Amino acid sequence: MNLNKEQLGCADCRAKACQSMKGNYPAFCPGQDLPEEVLSAAMKEYEDPQIRRVTIAAAETESENYCRMTRAEETMEFARKIGAKRIGIAHCVGLLEESGIMAKILRKNGFEVISISCKCGEQKKADVGISPACHNTGVNMCNPILQAKYLNSRKTDLNVLIGLCVGHDSLFYKYSEALVTTLVSKDRVLAHNPVGALYQADKYLHLI
């Protein structure tokens, strides 16, 4: 596949020059041709005290626990650093067991938990124009907007997403008023380990 400079980006780079700062930037490096207004606009956001507090908390969570803590543990550390006490869990109804375990972990560690599943409210797929062809996974729709709005109404400080479907997670991110972190990305084929498909993309799955 022949791609020009405009079609290439950081995903195509193996130099990691922006991390090592050795200056071996590829010709297509977006960072070397970054519009000043885009960079300035992004950096200006960090002047907001709340954004800066979250940014520092995220960096400290990474630095202090890198390769030492599980993501579940890091989620709690991050929550503590930003002062989050009421944690929302938005989860797939198919991951009730996993969500229940995470709720117990959070409560044991002093957090209040508000949880809601994707099928809560029992709205029909047909009511929002979803084809009957999608009834093979049930007649009730997943309702990520309701999940987000419910957690908004309960004034959660941080929302944890557990296994929402592709696309449903996108809507949840859009409508959540609180910050969102993902604990589980659903991939039923690979036991919720989607990166496995990338490791086997050429050898067994023939994705590339």
Whether 60 is covered by a domain: the verdict is yes
- Residues 44, 133, single domain; the answer is no
Same domain, 77 and 63: no
For residue 29, the number of C-alpha atoms closer than 13 Å in the C-beta half-sphere is 13
Do residues 127 and 53 share a domain?
no
Domain-located, residue 46 = yes
Query: Does any domain span residue 62?
Result: yes
| Short-list 198, 16, 179, CA closest to 88 | 179
Q: What is the pLDDT of residues 36-49, one digit of tens each?
A: 999 999 999 999 99
Contacts of 87 (CB under 8 A, 6+ apart): 79, 106, 111, 112, 113, 114, 156, 157, 158, 159, 160
- Residue 16: inside a domain, yes or no? no
**Is the residue at 158 inside a domain?**
yes
Locate tokens 């071996």: which residue? 24
Residue 23 has pLDDT above 90, yes or no: no
Q: Tell me: do 82 and 55 sit in the same domain.
A: no
Range of the domain at 80: 70-198
Query: Model's pTM, two decimal places?
Result: 0.93
Task: Give yes or no: residues 189 and 103 share one domain.
Answer: yes
Residues 89 and 62 in one domain: no
Asked if residue 12 is part of any domain, the answer here is no
Please report the sign of the dihedral spanned by the C-alpha atoms of residue 51, residue 56, residue 60, residue 66. Answer: positive
Q: pLDDT tier at 5 (50, 70, 90 boundaries)?
A: confident
pLDDT at position 204, please?
A: 77
CATH code, domain with 113: 3.40.50.11840
Is residue 3 very low, low, confident or very high in pLDDT (cuts 50, 70, 90)?
confident
For the cut 90, the answer to whether the pLDDT of residue 60 exceeds it is: yes
Please say whether the beta carbons of 71 and 183 come within 8 A: yes
Instruction: Decide if pLDDT at 127 tops 90.
Output: yes
CB atoms within 10 A of CB 163: 24
Q: Does residue 15 surpass a pLDDT of 90? A: no
Evaluate if residue 56 carries a pLDDT over 80. yes
Identify whether residues 56 and 116 lie together within a single domain: no
181 DSSP β-pair partners? 160
Same structural domain, 94 and 172: yes
Position 48 scores a pLDDT of 98
Domains in the chain, number: 2
